Structure 1
Amino acid sequence: MSWLDQVFPGTSSKRTMIDRSQALPGRTTPVAVPASHVVLGHPLRGEDPESSAGIGRFPGYQAVVLAGGCFWGVEEIFWQVPGVYTTAVGYAGGYTPNPSYEEVCTARTGHTESTLVVFDPGVVDLEGILRVFWESHDPTQEMRQGNDVGTQYRSAVFTVTDADADLVRQSARRFAQVVADAGLGPITTEIAPLAEAGGERSDGKCRDGRFYYAEDYHQQYLAKNPNGYRCHASTGLKYPA
């Protein structure tokens, strides 16, 4: 029995990625979400989401999907970053189409709690977004963040393009050196283009390469509930200048 099982009994199964054949079936209808961000006032959904892995197009802006633990706190961090146009929480990296939060919590969808971050590259570039990402959670905690344990809390970056995925991998290597110098590591963050997160992997498992918006009450949760739960298991390390 690992120390995690001793501290958090019954978590072993939730820390193991589900096989597609065992995943919940989900549904064909997406959940309804508000039209606008309650803090930033900009749209949550982009144009033509069916052509862009569920995200849609935001002309003039870039997008990336980040997972670093409970999505309430991750989203709150990023809507405060200068240059961020909009954010939304959802589910990505798994198998089940249009999952509910309750289904994701069973660890039988394969998804991780994720935050869509849409930003103005003229104000903050992708590396600037990643600086905040690496510094605001602990990417060495495999299948968990702090007291939140399971595949739904795993660290991940899902990009819109292959080029962005390459940049993320370079960024991860830079931060990995900082982590190693501090006697920590390795970084376990999953990095892939969002569309390929649903493709055939080297282990033969397929996943559904889309971002699914979470339910209305999860969107900008901490703006609506300022005293709500936050979990930031940061390493305290700084991304290299």
Structure 2
Amino acid sequence: MSWLDQLFSAQSHKRRMIAAEQALPGRATPVRVADENIVLHHPMRGVTDPDGNGIGDFGADLAAVVLAGGCFWGVEEIFWQVPGVHTTAVGYAGGYTPNPSYEEVCTARTGHTESVLVVFDPAVLDLEGILKIFWETHDPTQEMAQGNDIGTQYRSAIFTLSPADADLARRTAGKFGQVLADAGLGPIATEITPLAEAGDGHFYHAEDYHQQYLAKNPHGYRCHAATGLHYPAA
């Protein structure tokens, strides 16, 4: 067996989603994070959490979506620069382990993918506009990976806060999927589902040192395995 075969074999288990009953037990206590996003200066948690999904209520004028497109450091950096984005936070979603640590997520035994909560003002930029950026800034054809990052924690996903938003996300996937097909690429491997139906239905904030990591560490790691293709104009 070549060293490449050995490497792939060692990583192959990380490409397989774990069953809920096999996931790590986690813990009852959420991690502590700063009160606000240090770039956008708005809270990273809503004031209340009526849906029990770990996100909370940011107010009637704002909307939210949870996006996963590889290493969450780089994905968050992209979206905190977008006009109309109110706040961002990195975390874990789509899995089964409550309040996981980063080290646990890296074992591929939680089911979670590295995710970014994007809270935005739809009067400035609507959900389709947010998803246009999402599709263009990562490679949604890669399954359980982004670039050199391998495993279920790097899978592409859109977790919405309503079924209607999930339907819209699927329509955008159809539009971008046609662009990919025309370029000889695809299909899209992105998981698209309401957050309430993804794993245990929860977004767990990551440890504070991960929040706005690339603002704290400007020369830190970025992974953007984008296709170079553009979402179709309206």
Tell me, yes or no, if structure 1 residue 84 matches structure 2 residue 85. Answer: yes
Shift of 1:155: 0.1
Match of 2:201 in 1: 209
Instruction: With the length of structure 1 as denominator, give the TM-score of the two structures.
Output: 0.93
Q: Name the residue aligned to 2:121.
A: 120
Q: What letter is aligned with 1:58?
A: F
Matched residue type, 2:176: F
The structure-2 alpha-carbon separation of the partners of 1:165 and 1:5, relative to structure 1 and needing over 3 Å to count, comes to farther
Question: How many residues were matched structurally?
Answer: 231
| Root mean square deviation of aligned Cα | 1.4
CA contact (8 A) 1:67 1:112 kept: yes
Cross-structure match for 1:133: 134
Q: Flag structure 2 segments of 5+ consecutive residues without an equivalent.
A: none
1:8 deviates by: 4.4
Q: Describe the superposition over 1:112-165 as per-residue Cα deviations: whole angstroms up to 9, x where unpaired.
A: 000000000010000000000000000000000000000000000000011000
1:43 aligns with 2:43: yes
Report the CA distance shift for 1:37/1:195 in structure 2 as closer, same or farther (over 3 A): same
User: Unaligned stretches of 5+ in structure 1?
Assistant: 198-206
Q: Contact 2:69–2:115 at 8 Å: present in 1 too?
A: yes
Which digits, 9 at most, give the CA deviation of each residue in 1:31-58, with x for residues without a partner? 0010011001001100212524110011
> What is the TM-score with the length of structure 2 in the denominator?
0.96
SS at structure 2 position matched to 1:51? coil
Identity percentage of aligned residues: 75
Structure 1 equivalent of residue 32 of structure 2: 32
The answer to whether structure 1 residue 19 and structure 2 residue 11 are counterparts is no
Query: 1:239, 1:4 → 2: CA distance?
Result: 35
Q: Secondary structure at the match of 2:159?
A: strand
Q: What amino acid is aligned across from residue 152 of structure 1 in structure 2?
A: Q
What is the alpha-carbon distance in structure 2 between the residues aligned to residue 88 and residue 131 of structure 1?
19
Of 64-73 and 49-58, more deviation after overlay is shown by 49-58
Instruction: Report matched runs for 1:1-241 at 5 Å.
Output: 5=5, 8-49=8-49, 51-59=51-59, 60-197=61-198, 207-241=199-233
Matches of 1:147 and 1:229, distance apart in 2: 12
Q: Partners in 2 of 1:185 and 1:14 — Cα distance?
A: 22
Question: What is the CA-CA distance between 1:22 and the residue it aligns to?
Answer: 1.2
Give the secondary structure class of the aligned counterpart of 2:158.
Answer: strand
